[in-house]
Structure 1
Amino acid sequence: MHIKVDDLTGPEVIGLLEEHLRSMFEHSPPESVHALDLTGLKKPEVTFWSAWEDGELLGCGALKELDAAHGELKSMRTSSRHLRKGVASRMVAHIVEEAGRRGYRRISLETGSMAYFEPAQRLYARIGFRYCGPFADYVEDPNSVFMTKEL
């Protein structure tokens, strides 16, 4: 698997992000969807990566700088053709490693609280993320779960 910084212009990546947004709106009320669209992912404080193997897109993820010591994991998505192959674990590990290189002391995330999001929560917990309260501009929301990892 090759993970690279992506410029968000390729049709495969755009398609995966469109699938991601559709899924978020399918499984969460609109006011509780915090997924970034292409415009949000292209902001200077966000770095976006895609994972590839033999020319095929496996998944993606992003890191948003909240401040000099705190990053947020964003836009985690595995292609439906590559679920349960370790893509998400590798992408999260890559992003956590990058956060450490940047000198962040903490990386946090928001995900859904519904059953659909339980596999993601288990993955994050296995990697060392712990449940926490809202961070950055988030507020308490019964549809959201917040997790953080000290680096």
Structure 2
Amino acid sequence: MIISPGHLDDPRVIALLRLHLESMHVHSPPGTVHALDLSALKRPEVTFFTAWDGGELLGCGALRELSAGHGEIKSMRTAPAHVRKGVAAALVRHILEEASRRGYRRVSLETGSGDAFDGAIALYGKFGFVRGEAFGGYVATDFNQFFHLDLHATEAQPTLR
């Protein structure tokens, strides 16, 4: 698996992002979807990553800079044919390594509640993310959840493989 930045003009990536947005709207109450669209993923504070096996797209994820010491994981999605094959874990690991290289002290994320989000929440828990308060302008609702990882607290811990 190769993880690299970019590829936002690739039709396969655009299709996966469309699937991601559609799924978020199906599984989320109105007004609670915070997934980034294609134009938002092209903003300078966002670094978008794609995972590939040869020419096959496996998944994607992004790191948004909230401040000099704080990043946010966005747009995590595994291609349907590659779910539960370690793609999402590889992307999270890559994003956290990038956050560490940038000197971020904290990485956060927002996600939803319910069966459609349970797998993602379990994955983030394996990396040490803990539930916490809203951040970065989000407003807490009964549906959305917020998770945070203190990167300095995890430096001495082994990386999940």
**TM superposition score normalised by structure 1:** 0.98
Counterpart residue number, 2:156: none
Shift of 1:116: 1.0
| Secondary structure at 1:51 match in 2 | strand
Contact residue 7 and residue 50 of structure 2 kept, 8 A: no
> For residues 75 and 22 of structure 2, what CA distance do their matches in structure 1 show?
13
Counterpart residue number, 1:137: 137
Shift of 1:113: 1.1
> For residues 119 and 7 of structure 2, what CA distance do their matches in structure 1 show?
28
| Secondary structure at 1:90 match in 2 | helix
> For residues 25 and 53 of structure 1, what CA distance do their matches in structure 2 show?
29
**Runs of 4+ that moved beyond 3 A:** none
Question: Within 5 A, what are the aligned runs for 1:1-150?
Answer: 1-150=1-150
Shift of 1:77: 0.1
Letter in 1 for 2:38: L
Letter in 2 for 1:67: S
Task: State the percentage of identical aligned residues.
Answer: 57
> For residues 79 and 7 of structure 2, what CA distance do their matches in structure 1 show?
18
**TM superposition score normalised by structure 2:** 0.92
Letter in 1 for 2:60: C
Contact residue 2 and residue 52 of structure 2 kept, 8 A: yes
- Offset from partner CA, 1:68-113 (integer Å, 9 cap, x none): 0000000000000000000000000000000000000000000111
> For residues 130 and 147 of structure 2, what CA distance do their matches in structure 1 show?
5
Shift of 1:139: 1.2
Say how many residue pairs are matched: 151
| Secondary structure at 2:142 match in 1 | coil
> For residues 32 and 19 of structure 1, what CA distance do their matches in structure 2 show?
17
- Offset from partner CA, 1:111-145 (integer Å, 9 cap, x none): 11122101100000001100001011011111101
